[in-house]
Copies of this chain bind each other. A is one copy, B any other.
Amino acid sequence: MVALSGIFVPNIVPYDAQGRIAEDELRRIIRWLVGKGVTGFYPNGSMGEFIRLSYEERKRVLKIVVEEAAGKPILAGAAEPNVDLVLEMCRYCADLGCRAVSITGPYYYKLTQESIEQYFREIAAKSPIDIVIYNIPVFANEISIPVLKRLALDCPRIVGTKDTSKDMGRFQMTLHEIKSQRPDFSVLIGWEELLCTALFMGADGGTLSSAGVVPEIVMKIYNDARSGNWAEAKRVQFKLLDLFSLMVGAPNFPEGFRAGYELRGFKAGHARFPLSDKEENLIAEMRGKLACVLADCGFSEAAGECQRAECAATKIPPNRVDIENLVREVMGKMLSQQK
């Protein structure tokens, strides 16, 4: 058995003017990402505002993503409010043919590591589908390395982890303490800043919000890393830092990323949480800067919102060939190697 690997995109959910899920636009986003060569999808994650959807809406989002994913593997968020509901969602995901589910540490209450271990053991014992443990301490209870290690070594259903702790030391310990003993355990990075270094030290891939906005860039870093083309991977990683720090630094996560989707030509609508006027302005300002960085990367559809003189004048960004050509070239190589 091989470890889950590659880049799984945690998609946003677009809404219409009434705040309902904009299903057609969601389908369009998924198809566009399929065309960009992403490995798979990660619906109902933090990026997809799982916690602001109703249970039925989460099922609906998942169904749509599966239908449009063209057979690519799905890692579906299943962090439901209690064990019974988690298991119900696991069965639903299994029936739809998902590759695995991803479950965060429990949120709201602060729990002991012993409780959290017991929680995942119960789920793992009964789940009909493989499980990835999603560590995101900024939003939910952290899952410690010793707990994760015991779960990984005891529970066949637990096949990997996604780490969004921003902690490269912890990430390396996951590789060193767990993957070294169970090579088919998938260790995925969930924080853009660490993509290149995580791959360098042995990560299997990542699930990165930015991959929905700039799939070309994230896939290029991943593919360059896989090809051993580290100089390029590092160079583009620093570009990704610029893009990511703008989007993640915007108020009211994931609004910053939603602005990114808009700049790539989608109608995202507002996230399901109100914005103050001050925040609207901050996001508009960030969006202008983001447009310029995107234009610099060669994404011409974003250039229209960049107010800099050279962009405003020509609307043809100076180095647009850069990333797109490189991606084409690298992907060509990758494909030819796979034959």
* A interface residues, Cβ below 8 angstroms from B: 19, 46, 51-55, 81-85, 106-112, 114-115, 117-119, 121-122, 138-140, 166-169, 172-173, 175-176, 191, 193-194, 196-197, 200-202, 230, 234, 237-238, 241-242, 245, 251-253, 272-276, 278-279
Contacts and interface: CB of A to CB of B under 8 A. Distances in A.
Count of identical protomers in the assembly: 4
Given A172-B238, A234-B201, A273-B115, A110 B83 contact: no
B274 A115 contact: yes
Contacts of A139: 108-110
Contacts of A112: 251-252, 276, 279
Task: List the 4 closest A-B pairs by CB distance, nearest first.
Answer: A169-B193, A114-B276, A168-B168, A118-B274
B114 A278 contact: yes
Given A53-B82, A111-B252, 9 more contacts: A19-B84, A51-B81, A51-B107, A55-B55, A82-B272, A108-B140, A110-B138, A118-B274, A197-B201
A280 B85 CA distance: 24
A168 B168 CA distance: 6
A122 B197 CA distance: 37
A66 to B, nearest CB: 23
A53 B175 CA distance: 36
Contacts of A119: 273-274
A107 B107 contact: yes
24 contacts: A19-B84, A54-B81, A83-B273, A107-B108, A108-B139, A110-B139, A111-B251, A112-B252, A112-B276, A114-B251, A114-B279, A115-B251, A115-B275, A117-B276, A168-B168, A168-B194, A168-B197, A169-B194, A172-B238, A176-B242, A197-B200, A200-B200, A200-B234, A201-B237
A140 to B, nearest CB: 7
Which residue among A112, A166, A168 has the maximum number of chain B CB atoms within 10 Å of its CB? A168
Given A173-B241, A200-B197, A273 B106 contact: yes
Contacts of A242: 176
A291 B112 CA distance: 24
Contacts of A191: 169
Contacts of A167: 166
A225 to B, nearest CB: 12
A164 to B, nearest CB: 12
Given A109-B253, A251-B114, A54 B54 contact: no
Nearest to A53: B81
A237 to B, nearest CB: 8
A237 B201 CA distance: 10
A319 to B, nearest CB: 17
A191 B172 CA distance: 13
A200 B83 CA distance: 43
Contacts of A111: 251-252, 273
A54 B55 contact: yes
Contacts of A106: 273
Given A112-B279, A114-B276, A119-B274, A193 B176 contact: no
